[in-house]
Amino acid sequence: MNGAQDGVGPPLWLLAELTYRCPLQCPYCSNPLDYADQDRELSTEQWLDVLRQGRAMGAAQLGFSGGEPLVRTDLPELIAGARELGYYTNLITSGLGLTEAKVQAFADAGLDHIQVSFQASDPELNNAVAGSRKAFDQKLAMARAVKDAGYPMVLNFVIHRHNIHQMADILALCENLGADYVELATCQYYGWAFANREGLMPSKAQLVEAEATVNRYRSDLLSREHPMKVIFVTPDYYEERPKACMNGWGSLFLTVAPDGTALPCHSARLLPIDFPNVTEQSLEDIWYRSPGFNHYRGDQWMPEPCRSCDEKGKDFGGCRCQAYLLTGNADNADPVCGKSPHHDRILAARTAADHATTGLEELIFRNARNSRVICRS
């Protein structure tokens, strides 16, 4: 008996955020602003136990992320454990710390998929955003190593106002590398990206041009030597309706943070909710019975305009983190929605993006010093 409450299915996707440590300093990092003071990490045995419990509940997809998951020296052991349990596994990495030998070791341990992230299409911008002089060359080498080991080449670029003009160059780089899948994900404004929103958010004109470039690439696919699947994720801030965040709170996705805090999504830690920890409760208890996971299930919690809205079954009122960050109350409708009484905050952000002049060097980069300054101020 799994103790499931009415209408709640099992978590199908498990995201293991193995660590907040990372050699890079991206100013849009989704890790918490106070990550430097959150240095507790689950042990190998504790992670394996989480994976066992998740699989027993029905989870089938497993992501290893961070921070940079490669800083965990027990990664091959965790991959092997996940493989034995029958997960489909994905490693999400910056490529820093990766070597050909490690790629091979991960393949031998049974890893199914590797995604390498880039910051830009050229070394100057890439390294300036990443805060590392060697990052770009290392990423190129590791993207090739991943493909040489027989994996599909899956590349991810976080898009913002300082690299969105490179869209054509980014696609050309990916094609030259022989990429199979490319994710162009515009920043979503949580964590460090929210702190830097004005300096990161593209203007409407930039976005329209970037979309046109991607569409031209797609319409020209058949003439390409290496046709790639390109996914372009546009920012919520330019929509009139919110996305169904995480497909609904506590419906499919379960994230476990480095210290064992269990979350319905990796950003939810910023909410004023007491989330459970896998070191204190079973995963099943957490998923089906904890107040944190039940907080925004169903629609009884919704205030107007969501409560009486005929679209609430489609988007579940949008993103709780966005509602909290923009209105101070996570119960509110996501301000992205044109029906929200707080939609003016989205409109103001769009106007600010049209006039922003923030240089890359003025952004707050993710590093321990900035983290401590921010969380003590």
Q: List interacting residues with ligand SF4 (CB under 6 A).
A: 22, 24-26, 29, 31, 66-68, 94, 241-242, 305-306, 309, 311-312, 315, 317-318, 333-334, 337, 339, 366
For residues 81 and 318, which CB has a smaller minimum distance to ligand SF4 in the complex? 318
> Which helix (H) or strand (E) segment is 62 a member of?
strand 61-65
**Annotated binding residue 319:** no
**Where do we find the tokens 């590349």?**
155
For residues 284 and 334, which CB has a smaller minimum distance to ligand SF4 in the complex? 334
374 close to 34: Cβ distance less than 8 angstroms: yes
Q: Retrieve residue 333's tokens.
A: 């409708």
Q: How many CB atoms lie within 10 A of CB 191?
A: 23
CB of 188 to ligand SF4, least distance (A): 12
**Annotated binding residue 309:** no
**Annotated binding residue 29:** yes
CB of 24 to ligand SF4, least distance (A): 4
CB of 52 to ligand SF4, least distance (A): 26
One-letter identity of residue 323 = A
Q: Retrieve residue 15's tokens.
A: 């995201």
Count each helix (H run) and each strand (E run) in the chain, helices first.
15, 9
**Where do we find the tokens 């030597």?**
225
Q: Residue 104 has what DSSP assignment?
A: H
CB of 53 to ligand SF4, least distance (A): 25
CB of 347 to ligand SF4, least distance (A): 15
Distance in angstroms (rounded) separating the CA atoms of residues 352 and 370:
24
Distance in angstroms (rounded) separating the CA atoms of residues 307 and 148:
52
For residues 70 and 109, which CB has a smaller minimum distance to ligand SF4 in the complex? 70
For residues 4 and 244, which CB has a smaller minimum distance to ligand SF4 in the complex? 244
**Where do we find the tokens 């319409």?**
219
Nearest to 181 by CA among 216, 134, 131, 232: 232
For residues 218 and 342, which CB has a smaller minimum distance to ligand SF4 in the complex? 342
Cα–Cα distances in angstroms (integers) from residue 47 to residues 173, 252, 340, in the given order: 37, 20, 40
Write out the DSSP string of 161-184.
Answer: TTTGGGHHHHHHHHHHHT-SEEEE
CB of 130 to ligand SF4, least distance (A): 7
For residues 31 and 121, which CB has a smaller minimum distance to ligand SF4 in the complex? 31
Q: Which residues are known binding-site members?
A: 22, 26, 29
Q: Which residues are known binding-site members for [4Fe-4S] cluster?
A: 22, 26, 29
